[in-house]
Amino acid sequence: MNIAAWAWLIPVLPLAGFFFNLVLGKKAGKGAVTAAGVGTVALAFVLSLIAFKVMLAAPGHRLEIGYGEWMSAGAFSVPMGFVVDPLSGIMMLVITGIGALIHLYSVGYMAEDKGYGRYFAYMNLFVFFMLLLVMGSSLPLLFVGWEGVGLCSYLLIGYDFAQSDDVPPQAGLKAFLYNRVGDLGVLMGMFALFAVFGTLTIGDILVRAGHLAPGVGLGLLTFATLMFFLGCAGKSAQLPLYLWLPDAMAGPTPVSALIHAATMVTSGIYLVVRMAPLLQMTPVTMNVIAWVGGGTALFAATIAIAQKDIKRVLAYSTVSQLGYMFLGLGAAGFAAGFFHVFTHAWFKALLFLGAGSVIHALHHEQSLMKMGGLWKKMPITAWTMLIATACIIGFPGTSGFASKDEILYLAYLKSPVLYWMGVAGACCTAFYMLRLFTLAFLGEARDAHAYEHAHESPRTMTVPLVILAIGALAATAFGWPTAFGGSFRIEAFLEPSVRYGQSAMEAVHHGGSPALLATISTVLALAFAYWGWSTYRNGLAVAEARAAKWPFLHRLLENKYFVDEGVDFVLIRPLRWFGNLLWKLFDVIFIDGIGVNLPGALTRVAGDFIALFQTGRVRNYVLTMGLGALLLLYVFLK
Amino acid sequence: MSLWMSTHFLTFLVFAPALLGLLLLFFPERQAKVAKLLGLLVAICLFGVSLRALGLVPDGAGWLFLEHRPWFSVAGLPVDYRLGLDGINLWLVLLTTFLVPLTMLATWKSLSKHEGRFAGLFLLLETGVLGALLSQDMLFFYLFWEAMLIPTTFMIGVWGGEDRRYAANKYFIYLMSGSLIWLVGLLYLAIQAGSFAPELMAQAATQLPLHAQGWLFLAFLLAFAIKFPLFPFHTWMPDAYSQAPTAAVPVSMFVKLGGYGFLRFVIPILPAAAARYSKTLAVVAVIAILFGAMVALVQRDMKKLVAYSSLSHMGFVLLGLASLSVIGTQGAVLQILNLGITTTAIFLMIGMLQDRTGTTLIADFGGVASKMPVLTGFWILATMASIGLPFTNGFVGEFLIFNGTFTSGFAWGRVAACVATLGVLLAAAYMLWMTKRVFWGAENSDSESATARLGSDLSFREIAVLIPLSALILWIGVHPRTFLAPSERSVTRLLSDAQAPAPKLAPAPGVVSDSALSEVHE
């Protein structure tokens, strides 16, 4: 059967789930909501698998599916079409596969929530937009998904209408606005590309880019790619637009796992890989990406060390890991960066769901300071979390080791400084992850009451944990550094998506000793992991003593370098002040006062003045007439 | 009758509401309910009749329907009775006939007095709007343009809020003064052309020296700029918006006529001046976008906030028109339509809150979402449309405008487009911040607060009003072709006529009197 006949169902099924749950969510009952919410995503996963198989059989590993035209005006036209190729194919499987697992997990996690239907509606809508983002054949369609996932993120962060006081205020609003800053970048990038190529269909752009004479339109292209990266920085929480992601943790934990760890925040990486041939034409942008990525990886990792909320630690960890991905992309390692998206999706989703399991068990206690000793109470959660921790710190043999060390190696080829920044970030990562794990699962319980009531989570929650753990370990099957006797298969697999009829990417694997570099970073990371464990294995005493010794550093990290306060002071307050000024000074005083009401008042005064002459006495009028006649006579006879 | 209709379709559309509206004005006060019901029925029937326009096929010159005959002459200048429907005004006409009954239904219970007369004025207003949209003769257009002022001024002045007299006076004088200056320019050009026909006026304008064209352009622009409204001629609007009863929300729909009139008459009649001043216009547009958005950010009243957001949005329309490109102009035409839909939806929803609580101050609310989830759902959709989220109508319009400006070929286009996108960011800020304060948060526990007085969620009638508006928002967003395709040809034609060195218009040398020409050359 022709794939176009059913491929549209992949995004539309979750959309149908959204409408069903939104309109009938309250009346239909929990069973129906669950069936619609989880079922549609699971079905989309099955269809994605079939589409993936069809794509593998297709010539050039590329399926183009068209559904007519979306919008057009003059010379500008955007088709409504999808592309399934290795890149979007993997993303579709990740979105619907991990998405289905997280939906299943939510059945247990959200069981007692009264907004059950609305929650699933938003989650389904998210899957719909995310699928549009990766499947869209043109930049505007990609942008539909791009802003759509931002909307869902906004709705899900503010999902609890009446949030309690300890939630950061305006978290949803903040997320939306920071994302919007990036979205404007994508918009401007699109216009610049349209100015150069006269089309916004991704395939056409990349093909035409290959035929561009060297140097032609380079200024506009650099502008476009830089603007795209601004968009990526917004969506994927890079410096300086990362501030929204930690606050976004106000949403329910499965949301954090799906949207703010596994899928949405990686769409920036997707966009860069999608436009890879263009980026390679603009070395300036590549440098910016690499340095911003490396900087974010280190910066966010240091903040994560001092956070007390388990989800905030993971949030900064996500920001940091996304930085690694961009570091890889900037070093021209498109496959390496994307592979880290893939492995990270498994283990970070797992970390969040594990944290959610803990939070669920402790009745919404999120502070690491009040946990401890949970291993005995919830062994499945603890074991799966341990696996995820091993992955993220790059323990030899895990998927995290494979993807992160490939990135670090490429970073070294670009600049040794970037490599050392990456290594330093990896050391921090190892430290804070062991800190998190030790504080949560090992040692003594620090809150006896909470510990008393803790219990392992229900089956709907543990099953996804186990599946994700297996996936996190098995992901190495798709790529293993060649230096350690593997083959980086994902690179060859992604080739058709990244190349687009252009000459194959330059082989950059030369120089340095990959095995030595990987050994250095791994040994250092393991040493820091040990340090993290030994610091916290006996509770908080050691750490508190150390914080007391370095009070300034501790406050700086705990308060996230005071960046939020700075933004408020430098940007938000002046903006409001300026708006008030414009309103009061310009509208009220200047235009209305001097421009509108003053002439009005003058008219009234003039009218009153003239009315003085209307005395009603005939002799006055005669006198005036006479004087007027004399005046006229004087004028004419002069 | 049907034969008469087949040749006088537009005449019927324009004048039928006025006739019935006048009737309703003289209905006895105790029959107000009957009058109101009658008004609604008339409006609905009229909408039904107007749908016939969708079945029309354009002729060679692009007219879907044209009524053209000589009418009378003033001081030797012939005035033609000329009503025309083409791709540019098709959807605007339908939107007008659609919004009138919809608004009546939405505000069925909002008015406290003289409901029948209000319905009558509303129908008179409909005549004014439809007449201005359909007129293809300048004097005819001017008459309708001015006629709209009368019913709206009464609507604000009689049924408005506490400061209604100030708002109504300001509104009337503001708009009138702009129009009078325009009238002077119009008469001057009409005397040069010996006619009020736009194409003859365009021809006459090309004969004028460039600086004279410039002055005429400014005179024309002023009237449209005030109605647009355009920074800095906008201060009537926050007062009018916040004082007008929600039922007079068409204020928000017909002000968009400023953009329409600019496209329909100013660009074709004074193309050289339009091209010369397009950069200035773009700068003004960008200032309007940012100014409106920043002032909206600090408003405390929902209606005033929407008024300033409207100012910002009209800046986008002007930016698209100033690009003088098909892409940008198509975006502007669509955006005029979009604003009519989205602003009306948002305004009606504010009205629904006002009906329940009697206030529109943001600080009085908080936690509305828990009490009125259905309203919240519609609100979020309309908000997203207002800030231009993809798959809503606002996105398509703004995208085309930005794209048209960026690629217009003018060097300033790129800068203007980039700066203007900041308006989209600010739009998200003020709309969502308002949403946050009104709908989110813990329920305002103060028993005096507006939230406590909210009572029930939307009634069936209110939902019935919001569903078609929401459907339109999504329809335009997902399938804009329905709305873009009819105007494509007309817009392309209009712009290529305007940009052609010699106007490719019907030559009518005999009409241009020699004396008029000789005057010019002196």
Contact A187 B402 (CB under 8 A): yes
Residue A321: per-residue pLDDT? 93
Calculate what percentage of chain B has a pLDDT beyond 70: 93
Does the predicted model carry a pTM greater than 0.80?
A: yes
- The Cα B461–Cα B475 span in angstroms is 22
Range of weakest confidence among A341-345, A441-445, B53-57, B328-332: A441-445
Q: What is the pLDDT of residue B360?
A: 86
Q: Judge if A483 and A569 occupy the same domain.
A: no
R_g of chain A computed on alpha carbons: 30
Greatest CA separation found in chain A? 119
**Interface-testing mutation among A131, A147, A166, A568, with chain B (most B C-beta atoms within 10 A):** A147
Closest partner residue to A143 (CB to CB) among B390, B440, B488 is B390
Q: Please report the residues numbered 66 through 95 in chain A whose beta carbons come closer than 8 angstroms to any beta carbon of chain B.
A: 69-76
Whether A506 maps to a domain, the answer reads no
CA A179 and chain centroid, separation: 8
Question: Bigger pLDDT: B60 or B121?
Answer: B121
Of A71, A162, A176, nearest to B396 by CB-CB distance is A71
A118-157 residues touching B, CB cutoff 8 A = 140, 143-144, 146-148, 151, 154-155
State which residue of chain B sits closest to A75, comparing Cα positions: B327
Residues B373 and A162: their CA atoms lie apart, in Å, by 13
In chain A, what residues touch B396 (CB-CB under 8 Å)? 71
Residues A572 and A552 placed together within one structural domain of the fold = no
A104 lies in a domain? no
Mutate to test the interface with B, among A70, A144, A152, A161 (most CBs of B within 10 A): A161
Distance CA A129, CA A436 (A): 33
Give how many domains chain A has, as a whole number.
2
Nearest Cα residue in chain B from A114? B370
Judged by CB atoms closer than 8 Å, whether chains meet at A194 and B436 is answered as no
Mean per-residue pLDDT, B491-495: 87
* pLDDT score of A1: 59
Give domain status of residue A537, yes or no.
yes
- Evaluate if residue B79 carries a pLDDT over 80: yes
Side-chain-facing half-sphere of B247: CA atoms under 13 Å: 32
Alpha-carbon gap, residue B105 to A216, rounded angstroms? 58
Rounded to an integer, what distance in angstroms lies between the CA atom of residue A182 and that of residue A232? 7
In a domain, A183, yes or no: no
> In terms of CA atoms, which chain B residue is nearest residue A164?
B442
CB pairs under 8 A between A and B: 140
For residue A637, is pLDDT > 80? no
Judge if A416 and A520 occupy the same domain.
yes
Pair A550, A572 in one domain? no
Q: For the ranges A37-51, A200-214, A562-576, B422-436, which has the lowest average pLDDT?
A: A562-576
Q: Do A404 and A543 lie in a common domain?
A: yes
> Over the stretch A34-82, which tens digit does the pLDDT of each residue have?
888 899 999 999 999 999 998 888 888 888 888 888 888 888 888 899 9
Q: Is A178 contained in some domain?
A: no
Q: Which of B296, B391, B402 sits opposite A144 (nearest CB)?
A: B391
Tell me: pLDDT of A165 over 50: no
| Residues A7, A84 contacting (CB under 8 angstroms) | yes
Residue B521 is predicted with a pLDDT of 39
pLDDT for position A509:
53
Decide if B424 and A184 are in contact by the 8 Å CB cutoff: yes
| A187 to B421: CB separation less than 8 angstroms, yes or no | yes
3-class SS letters over A113-139: CCCHHHHHHHHHHHHHHHHHHHHECEH
pLDDT value at A322 more than 80: yes
The alpha carbon of residue B487 and the mean position of all alpha carbons in its chain are separated, in whole angstroms, by 17
pLDDT above 60 for B501: no
Instruction: Tell whether A149 is covered by a domain.
Output: no
Q: Which two tokens stand for residue B370?
A: 């828990």
Percentage with pLDDT > 70 across chain A:
94
Chain B residues closer than 8 Å to A188 by CB: 406, 417-418, 421
More confident residue, A487 or A282: A282
pLDDT at position A505, please? Answer: 47
Asked if A548 and A571 sit in the same domain, the reply is no
Query: pLDDT at position B446, please?
Result: 67
Q: Is residue A474 part of a domain?
A: yes
Lowest-pLDDT range of A5-14, A269-278, A543-552, B378-387: A543-552
The runs of H, that is alpha helices, within B26-77 are: 32-50
The confidence score (pLDDT) of residue B443 equals 65
Comparing CA positions, the residue from B255, B261, B413, B256 lying closest to residue B324 is B413
From chain A, the residues in CB contact with B443 under 8 A are 162
Q: Rounded CA gap, A364 and A222, in Å?
A: 47
pLDDT digits 0-9 by tens, A286-309: 999 999 999 999 999 998 888 888
B351-400 residue pLDDT tens:
889 888 888 888 888 888 888 889 999 999 999 999 999 999 999 999 99
Q: So what's the ipTM on this one?
A: 0.87
Taking an 8 Å cut-off on Cβ atoms, the answer to whether A172 and B174 are in contact is no
Confidence band for A564, pLDDT divided at 50, 70 and 90? confident
Contacts of residue B297 in chain A, CB cutoff 8 Å? 575-576, 579
Whether residues A545 and A586 fall in one domain? no
Query: What is the distance, to the nearest Å, from the Cα of residue B231 to the centroid of all Cα atoms in its chain?
Result: 16
What digits encode the pLDDT tens for the residues B95-112?
999 988 998 888 888 777
Report yes or no: A173 at the B interface, CB cutoff 8 Å: yes
Q: A575 is in which domain, residue-wise?
A: 565-637
Comparing alpha-carbon positions, the chain B residue that sits nearest to A168 is B441
Q: Find tokens 């990486």 and name the residue.
A: A269
Beta-bridged to residue A367, according to DSSP, are: A309
pLDDT of A371 over the 50 cut: yes
Secondary structure letter of residue A504 according to DSSP: P
What is the C-alpha to C-alpha distance for residues A346 and A601, in angstroms, rounded to an integer?
72
β-strand partners of A426: none
Q: Which helix (H) or strand (E) holds A325?
A: helix A310-330
Nearest-CA distance B210 → chain A (Å): 29
The pLDDT, as a whole number, for residue A272 is 92
User: Which among B233, B414, B463, B499 is the top mutation candidate for probing chain A, defined by the most A β-carbons within 10 Å of its own β-carbon?
Assistant: B414
Cβ of B484 within 8 Å of Cβ of A72? The answer is yes
Range with lowest mean pLDDT among A117-121, A208-212, A458-462, A540-544: A540-544
Check whether residue A482 and residue A582 sit in a common domain: no
Closest CA to A274 of A61, A83, A65: A83
> Is the same domain home to A414 and A550?
yes
Is residue A286 one of the residues assigned to a domain?
no
Give the helix/strand (H/E) hosting A566: helix A563-567
pLDDT surpassing 90 at residue A424: yes
What pLDDT shows up at residue A294? 93
The pLDDT, as a whole number, for residue A630 is 81
- pLDDT tens by residue, B426-482: 999 899 889 888 888 766 666 667 777 777 888 889 999 999 999 999 999 999 988
Mean pLDDT of B71-87: 84
Within 10 Å of residue B453's Cβ, how many Cβ atoms?
Answer: 13
Is the domain of A521 the same as that of A468? yes
Task: Categorize the per-residue pLDDT at A386 as very low, low, confident or very high, splitting at 50, 70 and 90.
Answer: very high
Pick B389's closest partner by Cβ from A147, A173, A184: A147
Q: Assign A406 a pLDDT band (cuts: 50, 70, 90).
A: confident
Does residue A156 surpass a pLDDT of 90?
no
Q: Do A586 and B291 touch (CB under 8 A)?
A: yes
Distance CA A122, CA B291 (A): 34
Under the banding of pLDDT at 50, 70 and 90, the label for residue B516 is very low
Looking at residue A233, its pLDDT comes to 92
State the DSSP H helix or E strand holding residue B386, giving kind and residue range, or none if neither.
helix B373-386
User: Residue B361: beta bridge partners?
Assistant: B301
| Torsional sign, CA A186, A191, A193, A194 | positive
Q: What is the rounded CA–CA span in Å between residue B50 and residue A79?
A: 32
Q: What is the pLDDT of residue B163?
A: 82
Residue of B nearest to A184 (CA): B421
Q: Residues A539, A620: one domain?
A: no
Residue A554 shares a structural domain with residue A570? no
Nearest chain A alpha carbon to B407: A195
Residue whose entry in the numeric block shows the structure tokens 């995820």? A388
In B407-502, which residue ranges form alpha helices assigned H by DSSP? 411-439, 460-478, 481-499
The DSSP bridge pattern shows strands B63-74 and A76-84 to be unpaired
Query: B254 pLDDT band (50/70/90 cuts)?
Result: low
How does pLDDT run across B148-179, given as a tens digit for each residue? 888 888 888 888 778 888 888 888 888 888 88
Q: Looking at A324-328, A380-384, A602-606, which range is the least confident one?
A: A602-606
Is residue A179 pLDDT above 50, yes or no? yes
Q: Is the pLDDT of residue A488 over 80?
A: no
Is B389–A151 a contact, with Cβ atoms under 8 angstroms apart? yes
- Pick the residue with more confidence: A524 or A213? A524
